[in-house]
């Protein structure tokens, strides 16, 4: 599982409750002369949740997260080490999204399983659509 949500509750049995799973964010700017271009928005209020089951995998691995902005540029990636014990046991990764969205459009979160230094496999891609809505209001 890989999703973006607003809040995560993890109990002592490692069960997860995901609150407000989302795939789009709207940034607004209100005033007599709101900017035409979207001001940067920090997406740190959102959480990225990745849950993996081990299956046959045992040992030390990593999960790599690569974010691609709407222009196709890749932002600096993050790599999180994990330990897998095989079978149905797995790992839950919960991390805030520390991305400053500079542009409107779709931000892609590519999730890779890293088995060795040069051996990584794309597990999934998560889209997050960022919208901008300037709202002009007359001066008072």
Question: Which residues form the domain of 22?
Answer: 2-136
Q: What is the pLDDT of residue 88?
A: 83
Across the range 43-59, mean pLDDT stands at: 94
Q: Is the pLDDT of residue 140 over 80?
A: no
Cβ-contact 25, 130 below 8 angstroms:
yes
Q: What is the pLDDT of residue 116?
A: 81
Q: How far is CA 28 from CA 25, 62, 129, 135, in A?
A: 10, 37, 14, 7
Q: What is the pLDDT of residue 134?
A: 92
Q: Is the pLDDT of residue 46 over 80?
A: yes
* Domain count within the chain: 1
Q: What integer best gives the mean pLDDT of the chain?
A: 93
Q: What is the pLDDT of residue 103?
A: 93
Cβ-contact 96, 90 below 8 angstroms:
no
Task: Give me the CATH number covering residue 41.
Answer: 2.60.40
């Amino acid at each position: 599982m890989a999703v973006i949500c607003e809040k995560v509750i993890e109990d002592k049995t490692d069960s997860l409750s995901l609150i407000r799973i989302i795939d789009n964010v709207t940034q607004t700017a209100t005033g007599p002369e709101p900017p035409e271009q979207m001001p940067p928005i920090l997406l740190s209020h959102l959480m990225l949740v990745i849950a993996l089951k081990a299956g046959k995998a045992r040992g030390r691995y990593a999960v790599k997260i690569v974010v691609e902005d709407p222009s196709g540029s890749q932002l600096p990636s993050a790599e999180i080490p994990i330990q897998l014990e095989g079978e149905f046991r797995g790992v839950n990764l919960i991390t805030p999204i520390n991305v400053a969205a500079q542009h409107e459009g779709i931000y892609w979160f590519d999730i890779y399983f890293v088995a060795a230094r040069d051996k990584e496999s794309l597990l999934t891609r998560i889209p997050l659509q960022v919208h901008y809505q300037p709202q002009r209001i007359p001066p008072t």
